[in-house]
Amino acid sequence: MSMNHVRPWRNISRRKSRQIMVGNVPVGGDAPISVQTMTNTDTSDAKATIEQVQRAAVAGADIVRVSTPDEASTRALREIVAESPVPIVADIHFHYKRAIEAAEAGAACLRINPGNIGDAKRVSEVVRAAKDHGCSIRIGVNAGSLERHLLEKYGEPCPEAMVESALEHVKLLQDNDFHEFKISAKASDVFLAAAAYQALAEATDAPIHLGITEAGGFVSGTVKSAIGLGNLLWSGIGDTIRVSLSADPVEEVKVGYEILKSLGLRHRGVTIISCPSCARQGFDVIKTVSALEERLAHVTTSMSLSIIGCVVNGPGEALMTDIGFTGGGKDAGMVYLAGKQSHKMSNERMIDHIVELVEAKAAEIEAAKDAAE
Ligand code: SF4
């Protein structure tokens, strides 16, 4: 991530982690922070799962996880992997055979806690399969499923117990000379998750997968994730993220991206700056913004757009955005391009016009990028 020397108060200094690969996506080191989600279809229904993976990928998911609780799921995985535009992580709990099958089926990464799958022989069989098939592993510690001996030692889930759990699993992998792993330490409580991740970041140089687990429904989960993940990312911790919402995986991806975009850690698509609207608005800001969000969802080129109800804040915001529209006179407003007042446009035609302007600007930016390569 480039440092901003003009505005040092925007700098985030990322923790230095090792880099691993999840399929063709680098995680850790100086790789962009990747956005993940998880399907909620029945994995054995390959068609439905592929469809969901593809929708998530279009929304910007870099990596998608699927649960593989039984043989029917690991059988379907082969087809899912073949059709997926992004690397697939197989989520395994307890059964080492599912992990081996998932590796054979082409999973890019296994989410498994090696301490939970049985004796050392089973762990080394899983590690062998991961090595043979180029899989990385995510050790996924969860405050809600800590090992009994740690709960007895610490009395309750706490950061120390979560880190100790992670390090025990790490040791099992290292004993098998396996180092392509990343770690998560999730909790539904933001304080616990943040403290566990901070301690984990000190204790290891492994890449870190961030998440607030069981965060809740769309609104509460988004707020909780933005606070928990935002705080960690701001302090430089986190190499890949998943926002957990009781909502469509596409929403998880959108929220994940918005968190990273808010912190300047990733850039993708149109960032809309809009006012909350009030009696001064020259057009219906809320309706317009929601129409534009929908009509501009396909644009992946990073750019900014300000949609402001009136001249109180419109010209100021337009100064800092690529394209701007400010409500004003009778049934019309002012279009700004690159911060400068450009031309008037009727409220009626404004949405179509803005979409055309954004698409043209995106094409121009992409052409300039191609020419520079
Ligand atoms: S920019 Fe204008 S319309 Fe929007 S909230 Fe402020 S005063 Fe109201």
CA 198–ligand 1 middle distance (angstroms): 40
Look over the chain and give the mean of its residue pLDDT values, rounded to a whole number: 94
The predicted pLDDT at position 93 comes to 85
- pLDDT > 70 in the chain, percent: 99
pLDDT of 216 > 90? The answer is no
CA 82 from chain center: how many Å? 22
CA 278–ligand 1 middle distance (angstroms): 5
Strand partners, 340: 337
Atom nearest to 327 CA in ligand 1? 3
DSSP state of 343: E
CA distance linking residue 52 with residue 37, whole number of Å: 10
State if residue 328 touches ligand 1 by the CB under 6 angstroms criterion: no
> HSE (CB half, 13 Å, CA atoms) of 167?
16
Closest protein CA for atom 2 of ligand 1: 310
Residues contacting residue 116 through CB under 8 Å, at least 6 positions apart: 93, 94, 147
State if residue 326 touches ligand 1 by the CB under 6 angstroms criterion: no
Q: How confident is the model at residue 1 (pLDDT cuts 50, 70, 90)?
A: very low
CA 329–ligand 1 middle distance (angstroms): 14
DSSP state of 309: S
Atom nearest to 311 CA in ligand 1? 2
Tokens of 45: 């229904």
Q: How confident is the model at residue 3 (pLDDT cuts 50, 70, 90)?
A: low
The predicted pLDDT at position 4 comes to 64
- pLDDT > 90 in the chain, percent: 88
CA 306–ligand 1 middle distance (angstroms): 12
State if residue 309 touches ligand 1 by the CB under 6 angstroms criterion: yes
CA 327–ligand 1 middle distance (angstroms): 9
CA distance linking residue 100 with residue 134, whole number of Å: 12
Per residue in 26-49, pLDDT (tens digit) is 999 999 999 999 999 999 999 999
CA 42 from chain center: how many Å? 22
Average pLDDT over residues 330-349: 95
Collapse the DSSP code of 116 into the 3-class scheme (helix H, G, I; strand E, B; otherwise coil) and give the result.
helix
Top mutation candidate among 273, 275, 306, 347 for ligand 1, by most atoms within 8 Å of CB: 275
State if residue 369 touches ligand 1 by the CB under 6 angstroms criterion: no
State if residue 275 touches ligand 1 by the CB under 6 angstroms criterion: yes
Per residue in 256-309, pLDDT (tens digit) is 999 999 999 999 999 999 999 999 999 999 999 999 999 999 999 999 999 999
Give pTM, 2 decimals.
0.92
State if residue 311 touches ligand 1 by the CB under 6 angstroms criterion: no
Q: Are strands 303-308 and 209-210 parallel, antiparallel or unpaired?
A: unpaired
User: Is-contact 59 43, C-beta < 8 A?
Assistant: no
Window from 97-106, 230-239, 363-372 with minimum mean pLDDT = 363-372
The predicted pLDDT at position 281 comes to 96
